[in-house]
């Protein structure tokens, strides 16, 4: 996994698990890893949205999303192929 992706996942995990502990230093680490201001905004917005919707679904008693057995994600497969060519 590249440094850019590791930084994104660290930030998204922190924003999900302990949002009150996110600081300017966390944002700076994203910048230093190559993320643009727009990308950082999108990472924050998407992480926050999915945290919100997941918690709302859980509190409402809705069943979690189900991934059909045997389903493959073309996006995940394509991304792995691109990374292996680097």
Task: Please give the pLDDT value at position 40.
Answer: 98
pLDDT in tens, 36-72: 999 999 999 999 999 999 888 888 887 777 666 776 7
- Give 16's contacts (C-beta < 8 A, 6+ positions apart): 47, 51
Tell whether domain 3-62 is in CATH 1.10.630.10.
no
CB-CB contact of 27 with 40 (8 Å): yes
Task: Report residue 68: phi and psi, to 5°.
Answer: -60, 140
**Range 7-12 average pLDDT:** 97
């Amino acid at each position: 996994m590249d440094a850019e992706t590791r930084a994104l996942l660290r930030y998204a995990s922190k924003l999900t698990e302990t949002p009150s502990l996110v600081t300017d230093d966390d944002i700076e680490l994203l910048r230093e890893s190559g993320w643009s201001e727009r990308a950082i905004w999108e990472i924050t917005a998407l992480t926050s949205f999915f945290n919100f919707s997941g918690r709302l679904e859980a509190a409402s008693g809705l069943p979690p999303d189900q991934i059909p057995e045997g389903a493959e994600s073309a996006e995940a497969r394509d991304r792995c192929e691109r990374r292996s060519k680097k």
